[in-house]
Amino acid sequence: MNAPLDLARALQAAPASSIPSSLFGLPNQAPHERVLLAADEQTGLKAILAVHNTARGPAFGGCRFWSYDNELSALNDALRLAQGMSLKNALANLPFGGGKAVLIKPAGDFDRAALFAAFGRAVASLDGAYITAEDVGTTTADMRVVQQQTAFVSGIPREGAFGGDPSPKTAWGVFVSIEAGVRLHLKRESLDGVRVALQGLGSVGWHLAEFLHKAGAKLVVADVDAAKVARAQGMFGAQAVGIHEILAADVDVLAPCALGAVLNAQSIPQLRAQLVAGAANNQLATVEDGDTLHQRGIIYLPDYLVNAGGIISVAREFRNEGEESAVMAEVTLIRDRVAELLDRVRVNGNTPAREADAWARSKLVKA
């Protein structure tokens, strides 16, 4: 790991809006416990491993492989995602803290296996303080490569044991959350005929589309991959709209399942959905955007509450616990936590975003 990230040069070149106020944590928040910058000149690895909080146990969170405008944007993403994992693991009652890894996708050709082997060595250097798994841009094959370098990895198919791709579990958690939100906020007893806008048809978004279609929901979809959109039209009778129109679609429910910060000062005034529940991490650009949604009468179910199915899956796999039906039953309990959150909102008068944050932080203690 001999080629440092050039943060000094990035600071000079980056727009002010992308520069974090601290290299150690997020604005107005306690610093992260550890932030490792790992680079390897031979493979092109540039990785940020952020350990937010280990009060409940080792930090657990996926590995994101993405193209970023600059290194500071990647750092900011890692910090936000790691904090979100602390809140997610706490609300899911898992004996783990929160962490995340962000790998900056190299330009041009590169040896993917060699790059992920270098990443595995970076994970190993943390001596178990951080456990990794799949996230946006990574696969079970990547995790198998990481596994050759460290035992602190999950989300891998295992012969005769529970494990593997967690995306169906993530999608199921979002699905039962939408069910609960539709029943409690929209006052509809089923999803039959409910219009749902799906932003993103990746691994999780596609599984969510399958669950929603089977339940009778009417889908409106958008994705940068036109082939996925065409497939959804053929299989689910989905209505296709452009990626710039999906947030303003005339629907009952909006399910963001792509990247974060899509709910912001520009997009929120255009929303027509009454309920927001999706798989994407960090959907709110700022906490104040959650206030704006609430003022508009739109119920936002925080992403780290509803999309916890994947981390529940990989956590049970890592601990050699459970089997398919037991893990699915545990993921289904997210539905009950959604109902509890809405009860807390009604009693305490907070917005869902602020109430969920307070609830999760109250659980950031030793498990």
pLDDT in tens, 266-275: 999 999 999 9
| Residue 334, pLDDT score | 98
Residues of the chain with CATH 3.40.50.720: 167-307+336-361
Q: pLDDT band for position 154 (50/70/90)?
A: very high
CA distance 217 to 343: 26
In the chain, where does the domain assigned CATH 3.40.50.10860 lie?
A: 7-82+97-147
Is pLDDT of 60 > 50? yes
| Residue 2 pLDDT class (50, 70, 90 cuts) | very low
Task: Out of 13-17, 33-37, 98-102, pick the least confident.
Answer: 13-17
Decide if 160 contacts 184 (C-beta within 8 A): no
Please enumerate in sequence order all residues whose Cβ is within 8 A of that of 269, keeping only pairs 6 or more positions apart, or say none. Answer: none
Q: Please tell me the pTM assigned to this model.
A: 0.90
Closest C-alpha among 366, 360, 287 to residue 95: 366
pLDDT in tens, 334-353: 999 999 999 999 999 999 99
Residue 11 has pLDDT above 70, yes or no: no
CATH, domain range 167-307+336-361: 3.40.50.720
| Pick from 2-11, 188-197, 199-208: least confident | 2-11
Are 277 and 118 contacting, i.e. CB atoms less than 8 angstroms apart? no
The dihedral through the CA atoms of 66, 68, 71, 76 has a sign that is: negative
Phi-psi region of 51 (alpha: psi -120 to 50; beta: other; left: phi over 0): beta
**pLDDT at site 163:** 83
Please state, for a pLDDT cut of 70, what percent of the chain lies above it: 93
How far apart are alpha carbons 322 and 162 in whole angstroms?
A: 7
Mean pLDDT of 125-135: 97
Q: Answer yes or no: 218 catalytic.
A: no
Q: Select which of 46, 88, 100, 228 is catalytic.
A: 100
Instruction: List Cβ neighbours of 283 (8 Å cut-off, separation of 6 or more).
Output: 256, 260, 261, 262, 263, 276, 300, 303
The CATH number of 7-82+97-147 is 3.40.50.10860
